């Protein structure tokens, strides 16, 4: 599989104990990571977590305070940005409006010793790669946002870097265009095979595009994993909260079992938590906190046959998204816990012909212990 091949690929970028101070401010606090050749890697985190700083230290636009950055096995200490095998695509595309599309794309070849015809061919090839075949003679100032982004990509790719660094490249585009460009960027990356490192604060974008994602908070990597692992097995409550929606419920311990612990889960009743799933990082005074995704449970109609267990509740909130609906359901019997238990959020795919339920309606919630703990 692609994953196995990446595992076996050589390291392209290695950061070892990288620290960066801006004056007193500790922006990067011991970054350790290895990005493999050919990988589509994302740095994801909230504003101010240091992801752009990390990207800029890889690019060579920022000096690091301590630690080591290797690119393709070479120590980058003292190597200027323009001597690194990297190229950066910025959020603001920095297209020269007075130049044509072809002149913009060929800009980095000014001092290239190849003949005019060879350079023109390279420009054509780069334009074709980004879906702008035949656009070379156009004026740059008249391009749409999506087209500018493509020109910026072509201009970076023509220099054949080993690593392409992308700083929120799609954030200026509208939603539809952004989704289209996400798919195109993935295809492009597969086609050219070079290492992509993307900075984004958009978790959906990171999940869609990346082979692996480093989630950053306050200058540190909180978790580094593939999209599925990150979503299904977040390493901490904070990561879980940042990536998608997660229900958290307090529990009360009933007693130990041979394989773990039996708890009272508000609204669900008695559930066994396997020992392996009890987070040591979360020594609550009561029982451990249980976290599950909104799609781990579902609402079923009354009397529908089900293999799962069913508990009842009342719909507290309905958030309609067209293709899906979020229901917040207050489960019967979830009161009476020391802390007030919030309604659980349930994600339902909307089916043509099935009505969206209303606030105040009763709901049968179908679940199985294995999907909750």
Measured at CB, which residue is nearest to ligand ATP?
52
Choice between 49 and 230, CB closer to ligand ATP? 49
- Closer to ligand ATP at the Cβ: 22 or 320? 22
Residue whose CB is less far from ligand ATP, 52 or 247: 52
Radius of gyration of the chain (CA): 25
Q: Which is nearer to ligand ATP, 51 or 84 (CB)?
A: 51
Q: Measured between alpha carbons, how far is 325 from 349 in angstroms, rounded to an integer?
A: 6
**Minimum distance between the CB of residue 50 and ligand ATP, rounded to whole angstroms?**
4
Q: How far is the CB of 45 from ligand ATP (least distance, A)?
A: 5
DSSP string, 88-106: EE-SS----TTSBHHHHHT
Q: CA of 346: how far to CAs of 133, 320, 328, in Å? A: 46, 12, 6
**Cβ atoms of residues 251 and 238 within 8 Å:** no
Contact 14, 70 (CB under 8 A): yes
We find the least distance from the C-beta atom of residue 178 to ligand ATP, in angstroms, to be 16
Nearest to 249 by CA among 341, 338, 340, 337: 341
Contact 224, 33 (CB under 8 A): yes
The distance of closest approach from Cβ of residue 166 to ligand ATP in the complex, given in angstroms and rounded to an integer, is 13
Residues that bind ligand ATP (CB under 6 A): 22, 25, 27, 45, 47-53, 201
Shorter beta-carbon distance to ligand ATP: residue 27 or 127: 27
CA distance 98 to 103: 9
- Integer Cα distance of 348 and 39 in angstroms: 33
Cβ proximity to ligand ATP: between 238 and 354 the closer is: 238
Cβ-Cβ contacts under 8 Å for 108 (sequence gap 6 or more): 155, 158, 159
Reference 241, options 285, 289, 286, 276; nearest CA is 289
Which is closer to ligand ATP, CB of 25 or CB of 352? 25
DSSP symbols for 65-94 = SEEEEEETTEE-TT--GGGSSEEEE-SS--
Q: Which residues neighbour 244 within 8 Å (Cβ) at sequence distance 6 or greater?
A: 203, 231, 293
Nearer to ligand ATP, 23 or 193 (CB): 23
Minimal distance in Å, beta carbon 23 to ligand ATP?
Answer: 7
Rounded to the nearest whole angstrom, what is the least distance from the CB of residue 68 to ligand ATP in the complex?
19
In sequence order, which residues have a C-beta less than 8 Å from that of residue 71 and are 6 or more positions away?
12, 13, 14, 58, 84, 85, 86, 162, 163
Smallest gap, in angstroms, from Cβ of residue 251 to ligand ATP? 35
């Amino acid at each position: 599989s692609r994953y196995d091949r990446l595992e076996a690929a050589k390291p392209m970028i290695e950061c070892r104990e990288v620290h960066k101070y801006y004056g007193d401010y500790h922006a990067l606090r011991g970054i350790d990571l290895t990005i493999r050749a050919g990988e589509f890697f994302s740095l994801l985190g909230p504003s101010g977590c240091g992801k752009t700083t990390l990207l800029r230290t890889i690019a060579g636009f920022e000096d690091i305070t301590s630690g080591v950055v290797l690119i393709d096995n070479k120590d980058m200490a003292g190597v200027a940005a323009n001597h690194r095998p990297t190229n950066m695509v910025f959020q603001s595309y920095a297209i020269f409006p007075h130049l044509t599309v072809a002149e913009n794309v060929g800009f980095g070849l000014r001092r290239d010793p190849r003949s005019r015809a060879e350079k023109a061919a390279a420009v054509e090839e780069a334009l074709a790669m980004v879906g702008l075949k035949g656009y070379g003679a156009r004026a740059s100032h008249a391009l749409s946002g999506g087209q500018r982004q493509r020109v910026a990509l072509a201009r970076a790719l023509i220099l054949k870097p080993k690593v392409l660094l992308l700083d929120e490249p799609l954030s200026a585009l509208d939603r539809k265009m952004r989704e289209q460009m996400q798919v195109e960027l993935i295809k492009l990356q597969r086609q050219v095979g070079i290492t992509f490192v993307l900075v984004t604060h958009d978790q959906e974008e990171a999940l869609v595009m990346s082979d692996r994602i480093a989630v950053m908070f306050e200058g540190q990597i909180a978790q580094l994993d593939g999209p599925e692992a990150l979503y299904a097995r977040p390493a901490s409550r904070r990561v879980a909260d940042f990536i998608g929606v997660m229900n958290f419920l307090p529990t009360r311990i009933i007693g130990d079992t041979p394989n773990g612990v039996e708890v009272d889960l508000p609204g669900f009743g008695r559930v066994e938590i396997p020992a392996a799933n009890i987070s040591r990082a979360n020594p609550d005074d009561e029982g451990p906190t249980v976290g599950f995704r909104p799609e781990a449970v579902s609402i079923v109609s009354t009397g529908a046959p089900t293999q799962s267990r069913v508990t009842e509740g009342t719909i507290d909130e309905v958030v309609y998204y067209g293709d899906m609906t979020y229901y917040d359901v207050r489960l019967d019997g979830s009161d009476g816990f020391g802390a007030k238990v919030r309604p659980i959020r349930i994600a339902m795919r909307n089916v043509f012909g099935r009505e969206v339920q209303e606030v105040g309606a009763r709901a049968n919630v179908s679940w199985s212990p294995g999907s909750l703990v």
